[in-house]
Structure 1
Amino acid sequence: MSIQNQSVMGLDRKEIDDKILNELHEGRNVPSNLADEFGVSRQYIQQRLKLLEAANYVENIGRGVYEIINDPRDERAVDDTRADVSRICHSVRAALTALEDESPNIETCRSELEDALEECDARTSR
């Protein structure tokens, strides 16, 4: 999922920032290598790295070598997982409420619970 112009800690993250983070996730790198990889100027990469550094996402560990220290995309993954878990819990609660109300269609409730559990299993196996 690419984020364009998402404001995080005052930084308008762009697609290039996610590309930089992807490369740094693979290991330390320098602006000239990143510039060559993306077909942009070294100065532009340095500008983006300075902004990412100011947001505490990357660090210049010396001699222009950068590494990732706090990946903002991890925060999105946690938020997405929370939303998924919340949705699954809602489905389970609705099915349980229907069972408590002695719904005449118990098989439907059972099916909904099984679907929710399959989805939960799929999410936790990632």
Structure 2
Amino acid sequence: MADPKEQFDEIHWNIVDVLREGRATPSYLSERVGESRQLVSQRLRDLRLSGYVEKVHKGLYELVEDPEDDMESSGGKEEISNVDEAIATIKEITKDESGDDERRGQLRDELPGSGDLLDRRVDAILSMYDLLREEGEAKKRRSPRCC
């Protein structure tokens, strides 16, 4: 696909931002981005033809691929391709005693995606990490000491 930065204008990106939140109708998108319904429909057509947006029902659209993900992967960013690799990356990032803000930044750099979706991924990983760490510490306190 062509570089989305070159083919899309601000209206395209505003529509993508709204669609990141979930499915929407042209009327709703028009209201949210502050443009005419006709202009929004034209931009939706562009996004649909580019493969980023899909018409899931009459008058209902959803984002199926984020154009920013394409820009990141086309820029040479290596995506995590399997679970083992993802776990290794998370272990590497979380093994030191850096603060949550630093970990959050490292995870954002390593994980594919962007925007709210990426933020939710990072939050989920850090929450799971904290939960597992607390569970491990609790097990250590409960286990009998030997020798």
Deviation readout 1:22-69 (Å, 9 max, x if unpaired)? 111100000001111122110100000011101111011112100011
Give 1 or 2: higher strand fraction: 1
DSSP 3-state at the match of 1:82 = coil
Runs of at least 4 residues of structure 1 off by over 6 A?
none
- Name the larger-Rg structure: 1
TM-score normalised by the chain length of structure 2: 0.48
Specify the alignment match of 1:78 in structure 2: 73
Specify the alignment match of 2:30 in structure 1: 35
- Residue 63 of structure 1 aligns with an amino acid whose one-letter code is K
- Residue 125 of structure 1 aligns with an amino acid whose one-letter code is L
Specify the alignment match of 1:110 in structure 2: none
Count of residues in Structure 1 that have an aligned counterpart in Structure 2: 83
Work out the CA distance in 1 between the residues paired with 2:24 and 2:42. 15
Deviation readout 1:53-89 (Å, 9 max, x if unpaired)? 0111101111210001111111223355739xxxxxx
DSSP 3-state at the match of 1:27 = coil
TM-score normalised by the chain length of structure 1: 0.56
| 2:4/2:71 contact within 8 Å kept | no
Percent identity, aligned pairs only, is 34
Specify the alignment match of 2:107 in structure 1: 125
Aligned CA-pair RMSD:
2.9
| 1:4/1:15 contact within 8 Å kept | no
Which ranges in structure 2 are unaligned for 5 or more consecutive residues?
79-102, 109-147
- Residue 107 of structure 2 aligns with an amino acid whose one-letter code is S
| 2:44/2:53 contact within 8 Å kept | yes
Work out the CA distance in 2 between the residues paired with 1:28 and 1:53. 13
Which ranges in structure 1 are unaligned for 5 or more consecutive residues?
7-11, 84-120
What are the within-5 Å matches in structure 2 for residues 1-126 of structure 1?
6=6, 12-79=7-74, 82=77, 124-126=106-108
| 1:53/1:59 contact within 8 Å kept | yes
